[in-house]
A and B are shown apart, each in its own frame.
Chain A
Amino acid sequence: MKYLVLLIGEGDAGSWEAMTPEQQGAEMLKFEDFGAACAQRDGVEILGGEALGGPDTMTVMRTRAGAVSLTDGPYAESVEQLGGFYLVEAPDLDTLVDLLRLLPDYDIQISPVIDVDV
């Protein structure tokens, strides 16, 4: 199966900006560990993944009655914002959750990717 893994909230990992360079370095190592563990696990592959710009760089596009409006800032009013994502091939949810334990303690949303028949 394919899963979209959204790194939604800071969670226990805390604010990136508030970290010392050493702490940031330690957090970055966790991403490397995650990548290495995925590469080693049978049936698991990271198909894509990026870190995303902060809320002040986001734009929301809405279309109402054919008219497109763009607004500054993220969609939701929540303080939690999407900080990054992975697209991962994994045999099942438990395997994926097992590997995601290696990442910093973010709040994470996992969605299965579905086939859309056209």
Chain B
Amino acid sequence: MTEPPANLPALAPDLPLGMGRDHDRYQAVGRGLEAAALEEVVRNDWGRLAAVLTGQFRRLDLVEDALGDAVEAAARRWPSEGMPDRPAAWLLTVARRRILDHLRSEAMAARRRPLLVTDAERTADGRGVMVDPGGLIEDDQLRLVLLCTHPALGTEGGAALALRLVLGVSTHDIARLFLVSEPTMAARITRAKKKIVAAGIPFGIPSATALPERLDALATTAYLAFTAGYAPASGDTLMRTELSGEAIRLVRVGLSLRPNEPVLVALLALMLLQHSRRDARVDAEGDVVLLPDQNRKLWHRGEIDEASALLTDPALTGPVTQQAAVYAVQARIAAEHALAPSPAATR
């Protein structure tokens, strides 16, 4: 029941996502404006669309495939038919139609027509295309992020699921980040989705008692994805470092939904400081350069400045969870190194 329908092209969802396997080929043949625009929409709106669809249908198992299918359809049709006025709404409409098709065929297969389908149809018809993303949709986004990073999923499964569903990172790229094969990663993501359905993990906002723990879990998950990109591996170092930047995006999504959340503020600062040194970490031969020997001109100053500002955030002066405190201390130490003009001048 949780398998995608057989008629969906298996590789299609990964195709147009920019940093996927076809990235180089796209570059080489020169991409149209449409492809670049599509990439942009996927990057900015995937998580929001996934949240809307999950909120409407409560079928996480269908959402990823439907969205992937919609992106694939856009890659095919936009170049010939032209860009739609509202690309995100276009994707949403196509994905919604896929889900409805799937629900209908499920209902046919069961030789009955569950109420779910008619309810879903009514809502879909009533809503039409997305008009104005209001607070409700932001709630859905928070629900989606917390669902994907639910501690019952395990950190690795949750990290993969969050990158795929919240950010739309391709399974191919997630596999590369975690140094496993693409089928292994696809299986891990599928397992996480099945666990959500089977264990009854809700698409909801946690109780006030549970929320701090859940935000800690979100932070742990994002940090695991981040550090995965820096794990030593042969070759491919540059691309994997770039992928760990996606984990920073995940924290930013979390912060946009829960501003001033101490654990997220501290973690973002820590990640930015570590990430700011990415270009100085390896030399031309691909060997690791230790901190004292790094060319400080290669450090990303803007990221260091942003992190320094985050560390003065009032959110970090109040009572915080132990995890937030640990991130904050690590970030402050990293900041001392980042702000020192030279190794000798480090306090």
Contacts and interface: CB of A to CB of B under 8 A. Distances in A.
A94 B199 contact: no
B202 A98 contact: no
A95 interface: yes
Contacts of B201: 92-94
A13 B129 CA distance: 53
Q: Is the interface of B mostly helix, strand, loop or mixed?
A: loop
Given A94-B210, A97-B210, A114 B198 contact: yes
A53 interface: no
Contact of A1 (B152, B200, B206): B200
Which size bracket describes the interface of B in this complex?
Answer: 10 to 19
Contacts of A49: none
Contacts of B210: 94, 97-98
A112 B200 contact: yes
Nearest to A1: B200
Contacts of B206: 94
Contacts of B152: 93
Nearest to B203: A92
Which size bracket describes the interface of A in this complex?
Answer: 10 to 19
A98 B200 contact: no
Contacts of B207: 94, 98
B209 interface: yes
Nearest to B198: A112
A101 B207 CA distance: 12
B202 A92 contact: yes
Contacts of A54: none
Interface of A: 1, 3, 90-95, 97-98, 101, 110, 112, 114
10 contacts: A1-B200, A3-B200, A90-B200, A91-B200, A93-B201, A93-B202, A94-B201, A94-B204, A94-B210, A112-B200
